[in-house]
Amino acid sequence: MKSVLRTRRSLIDLDDIAEDELHEVFARATAFDRSRPEKRLSGVACVNLFFEPSTRTFTSFNLAEIRLGAELVNLTPKDLSYINKGETIEDTVVTLAAMGVSVLVIRHPEEGFPRSVAAHFDGHVVNAGDGTNAHPTQALLDLYTMLREFETLQGRTVAIVGDVLHSRVAHSLIAGLQRLSAGTVLVGPPAFVPEEYATEGVRVSRDLDAVLPSVDVVVLLRIQRERFAAMPLADEEYVARYRLNAERLALLPSQAVVMHPGPYNRGVELDESVLRFAGWRYAQQVVYGVSVRMAVLDFLVNGT
């Protein structure tokens, strides 16, 4: 699998990036972490199109674009005439391309929306999250955070805990972990972690306490309540079985780290002891998020 990202010119999911490109992006992120880059997107017009609320991802893309010197426009649904004046999204993106926009960063509640936009846009599309489908830059920053911790993920085990079914973060991360030959264990009740997720390198467990002693990384997920009608089990039962707390942290091996894509819900998937845990890497993920997004944008626009 060679140069997929360069050929497709867009990052919609992890399939759009070959393993060598993944490492190229990570190397570039490391360089950006070490020193402020030259303005490698100088004169490049980027539009961020966010159809869903976002704090981290939106700010992170904005900072990445600003730090690379891009020309930057942020559009929200209320600014888009295609929504209330009968234009199609296809015509909107053709208009943006005619104005010289070369990068579109899109978050949308509908699965597949960024991919369909990419088919009509003569430029680069970066998926910032589409429904429950994919969130590739979050997966890349999560993998990068793990690699900064462990150098290689071969022989390492990553537990992803919680609402995997509705999590685009988890879907992209599972694909990335497979690509880097990490062992993955998905932990949660059947309604959030269906048995069908088990596949090559990926197993399913219902028992967090049994899993913790042999993992290197725990990725906690928020219950995505906005994506389903009724909680499939009692909140108390979920908390009793799956909330990470001081007793459960004590089961982890000493080098293990805990991550979360944010936003995290105190008292649900974690309690305050996790926020004070020496291996809590949430802030580090946010820091690396900016440099990884800079690296993705630079790679898409400027190549190798």
- Footprint of ligand NCD (CB under 6 A): 56-57, 129, 135, 138, 168-169, 222, 224, 261-262
Closest to ligand NCD by CB, 145 vs 224, is 224
Q: How far is the CB of 206 from ligand NCD (least distance, A)?
A: 21
Q: Which residue is nearest to ligand NCD (CB)?
A: 222
Minimum CB distance to ligand NCD smaller for 44 or for 293: 293
Nearer to ligand NCD, 204 or 223 (CB): 223
What is the bridge-based pairing of β-strands 202-205 and 183-187?
parallel
Whether the bond between 136 and the residue before it is cis, its omega within 30 degrees of 0, is no
Q: Say if CB 158 and CB 146 are below 8 A apart.
A: yes
Q: Residue 198 is which amino acid? A: A
Q: How far is CA 153 from CA 169, 181, 182, 227, 288, in A?
A: 18, 7, 5, 31, 17
Nearer to ligand NCD, 173 or 300 (CB): 173
- Least separation in angstroms between residue 184's CB and ligand NCD is 18
3-state class (DSSP) for residue 146: helix
CA separation for the pair 221, 268 (Å, rounded)? 10
Minimum distance between the CB of residue 293 and ligand NCD, rounded to whole angstroms?
Answer: 12
Nearest approach in angstroms of CB 264 to ligand NCD is: 8
Residue 97: both structure tokens together = 């391309």
First-last CA distance in the chain: 16
Order of strands across the sheet that contains 257-259: 202-205, 183-187, 157-161, 217-220, 257-259
What's the CA gap between 182 and 154, in Å, rounded?
Answer: 5
Nearer to ligand NCD, 231 or 246 (CB): 231
Nearer to ligand NCD, 40 or 227 (CB): 227
| Nearest approach, Cβ of residue 260 and ligand NCD (Å) | 9
Q: Tokens representing 33?
A: 């972490």
Neighbours of 151 (CB within 10 A): 9
The token pair at 247 is: 């007793």
CB of 75 to ligand NCD, least distance (A): 18
Taking the complex as a whole, the smallest distance from the CB of residue 32 to ligand NCD amounts, in Å, to 19
The least distance separating ligand NCD from the CB of residue 7, rounded to whole angstroms, comes to: 27
CA atoms within 13 A on the CB side of 146: 30
Q: Rounded to whole angstroms, how far apart are CA atoms 239 and 247? A: 13
Residue 57 or 184 having the CB closest to ligand NCD: 57
Question: Residue 24 or residue 58: which is nearer to ligand NCD going by CB?
Answer: 58
